Amino acid sequence: MTKTISEILTDLEAGRTTAVQLVEAALERLDAVQEEYHVALSTARDRALQRARSIDEDRAAGKQLGRLAGVPFIAKDNFLTFGTTTTAAAKILENFTAPYQATAVERLEAEGAIMIAKANLDAFAHGSSTENSYFGPTKNAVDSTRVPGGSSGGSATAVALDIVPFALGSDTGGSIRQPASLSGVIGIKPTYGLVSRYGVIAMASSTDTIGAFAHTADDIALVMDVMAGKDDRDSTTLPEPSHALMTSMGKPAGSLKIGIVKEYITDAVQPEVREAVLRRAEQLRALGHTVEEISIPSVDLALAIYYIVVPAEISSNLSRYDGIKYGLSVEQAKSLDEVYGLSRDQGFMAENKRRILIGAYVLSSGYYDAYYRKAQTARTILIGEFNKAFADYDILLGPVSPTTAFKLGENTDDPLKMYLADIMTVAVSLAGLPAISVPSGVDGQGLPIGVQLIGKQKSDGQLLAVTKQLEEAA
Amino acid sequence: MTDSDSTTISIKDVHYIAGLSKIAVTDEEAAKLQAELDAILGYVRQLDSLDTAGIEPTYQVSGLSNVDRDDVIIDYGVSQEALLQNAPRTQDDQIKVPKVL
């Protein structure tokens, strides 16, 4: 297993390694697995090595260094970054070079972290298996005949295969938690607004969040603490000092009230996944917490709400890809309308088109009230039930995914079947809550199982504190 | 547009929303999309049975409202040249499009 971030920093301080050595070793590990697993879409080798040399020189000169100085990482390829292309795994952005960087990446770089490569994803983050990538799927780190989950599948696999100690992802409806669960690493989807989305390719603006994958709660906390906080370039970022949200991590969790969401542990869930949740519940009791079953009936409607609201927002956000300003522009188009129509037809994947069209439909005159407004009203009911639960409980517990990793190709012929992979993650997104996928054993085939901890808004630090307790109890 | 209970969306509807979305779909694509979108819309219509009378919709969850800033130009260091580099067709520092009129 690769070292934790703090172990790497200790090695760097003691002179046992250098940033250049760390970057070269990470790139070698990536090269060694790339053909089998298809983790990355491109590397930023030259820029990464240049930054590493500069950090090593600063260290040798005794200069003050950042909190992540010399630590390599990988970003999902929907983060705008320097050093290589930013494609969103879509043909329409195949040759796109970002003119600026995402705030999250800028903040990590300001603390000396070094991005070495861009991870594969479902095109525009539309998917639950990374099979919707224009460049081909990523494979599961434990079993390369299976999916890694998605849409942040490349990031999850990068950490699971120990290429880098942490990787960045985005989570709109489960795109960090579900691949973390299927790949056996920790993944956090923070409170909506905790981390700036500036420079991350927009999918659904009312649920898009930025988070991370790592092997330990401490590593996640450090990375999130660096990325979090108000950003003038994303007006949805929370005004609170992010530090205040993350430092509760350091405090003892005390005795908490934890609710197992009854609707999430039905017979529809793979038995081993259900057992993993109940095992975690026992461990939490042994740690002095109270654990009881509770009901949040509307979570059963969450997927229906999600697949109205999110496509609506997608249809709006993806209207900017027009073949004019950047990206693919079909040469043979004769009129402006053909530039739009042909570039979008050829540049988007089938799943992108499905979501754009669903979105246009539910927003169109005559259907707006029956679909879009109805869903947003149902969302109010769902949020109300979460608020009621959090009046009595500190944390909610359930699976992340109803099953462990499925086979490549198993769900690709049926879009609705693929959507069902997100049935236990979308409710959290619609309510803007933080949630973590905690690795919790394996099934009979050795495939990883993740258990989901869900907190009230702005309780990210507390969730990480409990994740750490479970890590130590495991 | 169709009012049939069995089918939510027709092929004609698919062409209509594809037009609104500026995606040039072929007849073959439209037929496939019709079946897929119909299944998805059929699934989300389970919300029909939910009583939402008197409940207001929720469009955003951050609790923030009216986030504004001083009306001043902020230089984020992104040059016109860098932005134009990604444009498929340019001329004299402008983005070029096919003749409209």
Instruction: For A128-154, write each residue's pLDDT tens digit.
Output: 999 999 999 999 999 999 999 999 999
Q: What pLDDT band is residue B99 in, cutting at 50, 70 and 90?
A: confident
From the CA of B73, how many Å to the nearest CA of chain A? 13
Q: Is residue B70 part of a domain?
A: no
Which residue, among A300, A357, A430, would best test binding to B if mutated, counting the most B CBs under 10 Å from its CB?
Answer: A357
How far does the CA of residue B91 sit from the closest CA of chain A (Å)?
13
A45 in a domain, yes or no?
yes
Q: Tell me what pLDDT residue A242 has.
A: 65
Q: Tens of pLDDT along B78-90?
A: 999 999 999 999 9
Q: Does any domain span residue A122? A: yes
pLDDT score for A258: 97
Q: Is A155 a catalytic residue?
A: no
Does a structural domain hold residue A426? no
Domain-embedded: residue A274:
no
Assigned domain for B6 exists: yes
Is the pLDDT reported for residue A376 higher than 80?
Answer: yes
* pLDDT in the model for residue A219: 95
The single-letter code of the amino acid at A69 is A
Position A244 pLDDT exceeds 70: no
Determine the average pLDDT of the residues in B48-69.
92
CA distance A266 to A304: 18
Total count of domains within chain A: 1
Work out how many domains chain B is built from and give that number.
1
B1 located within any domain? yes
Give the C-alpha distances (Å, rounded to integers) separating A51 from A114, A404, B22.
Answer: 7, 39, 42
Whether residue A152 contacts residue A170, with contact meaning beta carbons closer than 8 Å, is answered with yes
The mean per-residue pLDDT over the stretch A207-234 comes to 95
Interface with chain A: mutation pick from B27, B40, B51, highest number of A CBs within 10 Å: B40
Contact of A38 with A137, CB cutoff 8 Å: yes
Q: Is the pLDDT of residue A7 over 80?
A: yes
Is A244 inside a domain boundary?
yes
The model carries a pTM of 0.97
Q: Does any domain span residue A422?
A: no
Residue A153 lies in a domain: yes
Query: Is residue B97 assigned to a domain?
Result: no
Least Cα separation, residue B6 to chain A (angstroms): 17
Tell me the one-letter amino acid at A325.
K
Residue B19 counted as domain residue: yes
Residue B67 binned pLDDT confidence (cut-offs 50, 70, 90): confident
Please report residues of B whose CB lies closer than 8 A to that of A238. 62, 64
The stretch A306-331 carries a mean pLDDT of 97
Q: Which of A175, A315, A401, A459 is catalytic?
A: A175
- The predicted model gives A314-322 an average pLDDT of 97
Residue ranges making up the domain that contains B1? 1-48
A180 pLDDT more than 90: yes
Structural domain including A67 reads: 5-250
Would the CB atoms of B22 and A419 count as touching at under 8 Å?
no
pLDDT at A252: 63
CATH number at residue B17: 1.10.20
Q: CB B61 to CB A339 under 8 A?
A: no
- State percent of chain A over pLDDT 70: 97
Given a cut of 60, whether residue A174 has pLDDT beyond it is yes
Closest alpha carbon to A465 in A218, A279, A239, A274 = A218
Residue B4, pLDDT score: 44
CATH number at residue A69: 3.90.1300.10
Q: Provide mean pLDDT across the span A446-458.
A: 97
Residue A396 lies in a domain: no
Asked if residue B3 has pLDDT above 50, the reply is no
Question: Does A402 reach chain B within 8 Å, measured CB to CB?
Answer: no
Helix, strand and coil content of chain B, in percent to the nearest 5, comes to: 40, 5, 60
Cα–Cα–Cα angle for B72, B74, B79, nearest 5°? 140
Tell me whether the omega of the peptide bond preceding residue A144 falls within 30 degrees of 0, making it cis. no
Task: Judge whether B56 lies within some domain.
Answer: no
B66 occurs within a structural domain:
no
